[in-house]
Amino acid sequence: MVQKILHLDHKSSSPLKVMTIASAKILVVDDDPAIRNLILRFLSQKNYEMESAHDGKTALAIFEQFNPDLVILDVNLPDAIGYNLCREMQSRTDVFVLFLTSRGDPIDKVRGFEQGGDDYLTKPFDLQELENRVGAILKRRRLVNPTEPKRLVFDNLVIDPERREVTLHDESVPLTALEFDLLHYLASHPGRVLRRAELIQEVWEYDYVGDQRVVDVHIGQIRKKIEINSSEPSLIHTVRGVGYKFESSSDSKNGQPK
């Protein structure tokens, strides 16, 4: 019975949340038809546009046609590993990925984030929590406030929030959606020490109750992509016992890079 796997007691989301994310498209990839269909029915009631797949091959075919905003992805599939599927999908678009899996070991969670996952939820799970996680992820599609600087420039690093692009020495830096949001938030507050809890609140945008080391995992991935030596970072500095600080040898400028 599905009731033994999932907690079915839930409340409807507020009208504001539904209006904010009603147009979002979600692809559910899980080889368990009971879980897959339950998620489809539940999120369809929240005005999401839904599609589903039972294996990796079908998922990629639907992904190309459907172009989802978010993929809810199981790790263990009959013909694929979810981590690899996540990388493949994110190499094609900037899609968000929420891993939904029975793998609850901290090592598996770290790997999920390292492979580009925006969130990681273990089975058994509560449908209300799933809805909250989905809503929080999709809020990152928000438009950039026109009063904010369109570009942040630090020497050869350029962060463009309007295009959601990062370049280093005029070369594009391939960041996941969550990595971009985290880097942009850090760079928008140069010189300020930001606690892990604050970063989770501002970037993840919901009351995250998991291990705050999730921030460390994503910082490590960003450093590998923008630092000359990720073990001796020159941009994102660790403040021991507190959090992180973005600092560059040059001041941030708005407008075109030098």
- Map out the domains of the chain with their CATH numbers: 2-141 (3.40.50.2300), 152-246 (1.10.10.10)
- pTM comes to 0.65
pLDDT bucket at 3, cuts 50 / 70 / 90? very low
Structure tokens that stand for 66 in this block? 């459907």
Structure tokens that stand for 257 in this block? 């890079």
pLDDT bucket at 208, cuts 50 / 70 / 90? low
**DSSP states along 19-30:** HHHTT-EEEEE-
pLDDT score at 257: 40
DSSP E strand stretches across the chain = 25-29, 49-53, 70-73, 96-101, 119-122, 152-154, 157-160, 165-168, 171-172, 193-195, 236-239, 243-246
